[in-house]
Amino acid sequence: MRQPGPWSARPSPDLAHEVLAAQGAAKNTVLAAAASLPGPVDGRQHRVGSFSILRSWAGIAARHRLAEGLGVPVVIDNDGNVEALAEARSGAAAGCHDVLHVKVSAGVGAGLVLGGRVDPAAGMAGELGHVTVDPVGRICRCGGRGCVETVAGIPRSSPRSPRPTPVSTGCPR
């Protein structure tokens, strides 16, 4: 199976079909699909934001493209939102209706669940990695200077990312 690099990959039903085939799953057994993307996603128009890690996806209607190619409903969102929802449903924050999930990896981001749901109107709210903290700092991949990500993100040269550590939420269960 071909392995496209994250910098040049585009939303591809063909790639989704390759993944299904590699898993021995028939296309007609898929009822729906979800894509967790490492960058901003417009929750109303389901388009990938302009300075996403996946630069070649910028402005692409990824949900429509994948749904059309796969023939099933598709949900897309930012990876921070998807992770926050997963934590609220069955992870460290299980049973909590309001969750703020902060992630630090090559990028820095967050996801927010309010009332048990991710709000599609939140837009760029979770893009913490692109808040300027050092106006004379290093240039970020988003084009900004001194973003949180340039000082707190795990360097790409790091051989291993640290394993996430669940933090007690203290919310009523």
CATH code, domain carrying 66? 3.30.420
Report if residue 151 sits inside a domain. Answer: no
Report if residue 28 sits inside a domain. Answer: yes
Number of folded domains that form the chain: 1
4 has pLDDT over 60 = no
Report if residue 145 sits inside a domain. Answer: no
Report if residue 22 sits inside a domain. Answer: yes
Report if residue 149 sits inside a domain. Answer: no
Report if residue 164 sits inside a domain. Answer: no
Residue bearing the bigger pLDDT, 73 or 4: 73
Report if residue 132 sits inside a domain. Answer: no
Tell me which long-range contacts 39-44 makes (C-beta under 8 A, separation of at least 24).
39/78, 39/107, 40/78, 40/123, 40/124, 40/127, 41/76, 41/77, 41/78, 41/81, 42/123, 43/77, 43/118, 43/119, 43/120, 43/121, 43/122, 43/123, 44/120, 44/121
- Can you list the positions of beta strands (E) in the chain? 33-37, 41-42, 47-48, 74-78, 99-104, 108-114, 117-118
Rounded-to-integer distance, Cα 110 and Cα 17, Å: 30
Q: Which domain holds residue 99?
A: 1-127
pLDDT value, residue 162:
52
Q: What is the average pLDDT across 151-172?
A: 59
Residues 6+ apart with CB under 8 A from 1: 18, 19, 21, 22
Report if residue 169 sits inside a domain. Answer: no
5 has pLDDT over 60 = no
Rounded-to-integer distance, Cα 171 and Cα 7, Å: 38
pLDDT value, residue 128:
85
| Total length of the chain | 173
Please answer whether residues 76 and 86 qualify as being in contact, where contact means their C-beta atoms are separated by less than 8 angstroms.
Answer: no
Radius of gyration of the chain (CA): 17
Span 107-157, pLDDT tens digits: 888 888 999 998 766 666 777 888 899 999 999 888 889 999 888 887 754
6 has pLDDT over 50 = no
Rounded-to-integer distance, Cα 47 and Cα 75, Å: 11
